[in-house]
């Protein structure tokens, strides 16, 4: 490989709200006590994959500086170019698809090699919950008999979807949502502020990266159309079967799992508003006014529907490849029933 092929490339660094987790993990690494498998878990939009990439770069760096990869050594340039021989990335072949057993089986050759630099090797697997059952069992074999110089970094938005035997062999690194003011400051630094930032952050469940993505014009337009269709269902003026055909493939770069996540976060806002006396925005208020019943008893159907959305997301992430049209039909019909339809 020529020098031109491995020119200096930007190296990711941890995000502000990840500082404590980074410090703890960095201390373990420098002390030679880093576990052979780490499970980075938390909701989508918190930067877990970026954290994993930053840590992989640190492990593979020849001359770390102030607890971070230097970005200048040959190891960093190779990593930045995507050609470091001691780094292996395992991810779905297509967005939203499963991680297949054939992909995980390639780990056998990688973990059996010896590092040319006499250092650690890193496997980054994301999203971990996308493994089908055969892939998960193949990974388990590698975790049960780990090579001393290999570090597995598993990234997951839904760790409950992993085999318990996999979770038990990993040290979990939890990623909670940052404090609201910290998240809003980061969004302001990225050019999103005021009511738009607060609204996007609320819909994103406090996850700053997701909030930033949700504020993009294409995403805003898609969400407004989806909410308009949900409103039509709540008024009995739209057909769940017809709308299922529209939303089984959302388009505009949005996967169905992302649409369901937005639906979940919208439902969370409804639950919070319904169980408190705090003011709500006009759009949310219209949805709440149409719901039958009152008091705590009226919350039960909303909680039940939240669980159904969660199960649908888990089915999509499991690699079971459910029928998306039927999945959306069922959810939209159940949504209609919330309003007495």
Domain extents in the chain: 3-174, 216-338
- 334 token code pair: 């159940």
Measured in residues, the chain has a length of 341
Cα–Cα dist 139/171, whole Å? 15
The CATH number assigned to the domain with range 3-174 reads 3.40.50.300
User: Residue 336: what pLDDT?
Assistant: 96
Q: What is the CA radius of gyration of the chain?
A: 22
Whether 263 and 309 have beta carbons less than 8 Å apart is answered as yes
Q: At the topology level of CATH, where does 216-338 sit?
A: Zinc Finger, Delta Prime; domain 3 (1.20.272)
User: Residue 3: what pLDDT?
Assistant: 34
Same fold, 3-174 and 216-338: no
Whether 133 and 165 have beta carbons less than 8 Å apart is answered as no
User: Residue 279: what pLDDT?
Assistant: 60
pTM of the model: 0.80
SS3 of the chain: CCHHHHCCCCCCCCCHHHHHHHHHHHHHHHCCCCCCEEEEECCCCCCHHHHHHHHHHHHHCCCCECCECCCCCHHHHHHHCCCCCCEEEECCCCCCCCECHHHHHCHHHHHCCCCCCCCCEEEEECCHHHECHHHHHHHHHHHHCCCCCEEEEEEECCHHHCCHHHHCCCEEEECCCCCHHHHHHHHHHCCCCHHHHHHHHHHCCCCHHHHHHHCCHHHHHHHHHHHHHHHHHHHCCCCHHHHHHHHCCCECCECHHHHHHHHHHHHHHHHHHHCCCCCCCHHHHHHHHHCCCCCHHHHHHHHHHHHHHHHHHHHHHCCCCCCHHHHHHHHHHHHHHHCCC
Strand order in the sheet with 121-125: 87-90, 121-125, 150-156, 37-41, 171-174
Cα–Cα dist 254/223, whole Å? 10
What residue ranges of the chain have pLDDT lower than 50? Answer: 1-9
User: Residue 281: what pLDDT?
Assistant: 74
């Amino acid at each position: 490989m020529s020098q031109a092929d491995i020119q200096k490339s930007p190296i990711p660094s941890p995000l502000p709200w990840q500082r404590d987790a980074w410090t703890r993990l960095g201390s373990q690494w420098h002390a030679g006590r880093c576990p052979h498998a780490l499970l980075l878990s938390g909701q989508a939009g918190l930067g877990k994959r970026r954290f994993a990439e930053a840590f992989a770069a640190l492990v593979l760096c020849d001359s770390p500086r102030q607890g971070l990869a230097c970005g200048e050594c040959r190891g960093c340039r190779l990593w930045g170019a995507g050609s470091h021989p001691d780094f292996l990335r395992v991810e779905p072949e297509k967005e939203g698809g499963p991680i297949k057993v054939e992909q995980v089986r390639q780990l056998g050759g990688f973990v059996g090699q010896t590092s040319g630099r006499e250092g650690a090797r890193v496997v980054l697997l994301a999203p971990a919950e996308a493994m089908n059952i055969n892939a998960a069992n193949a990974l388990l074999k590698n975790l049960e008999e780990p090579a001393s110089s290999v570090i597995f970094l598993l990234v997951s938005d839904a760790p409950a979807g992993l085999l318990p035997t996999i979770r038990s062999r990993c040290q979990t690194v939890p990623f909670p949502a940052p404090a609201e003011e910290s998240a809003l400051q980061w969004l302001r630094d990225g050019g999103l502020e005021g009511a738009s930032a607060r609204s996007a952050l609320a819909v994103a469940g406090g996850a700053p990266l997701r909030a930033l993505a949700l504020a993009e014009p294409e995403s805003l337009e898609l969400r407004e159309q989806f909410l308009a269709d949900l409103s039509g269902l709540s008024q009995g003026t739209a057909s769940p079967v017809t709308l299922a055909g529209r939303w089984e493939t959302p388009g505009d770069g949005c996967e169905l799992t992302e649409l369901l996540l937005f639906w979940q976060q919208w439902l969370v806002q409804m639950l919070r508003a319904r169980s408190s006396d705090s003011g709500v925005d006009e759009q949310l208020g219209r949805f709440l006014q149409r719901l039958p019943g009152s008091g705590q008893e009226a919350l039960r159907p909303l909680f039940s529907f939240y669980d159904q959305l969660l199960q649908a997301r888990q089915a999509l992430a499991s690699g079971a490849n459910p029928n998306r049209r039927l999945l959306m039909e069922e959810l939209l019909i159940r949504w209609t029933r919330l309003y007495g339809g």
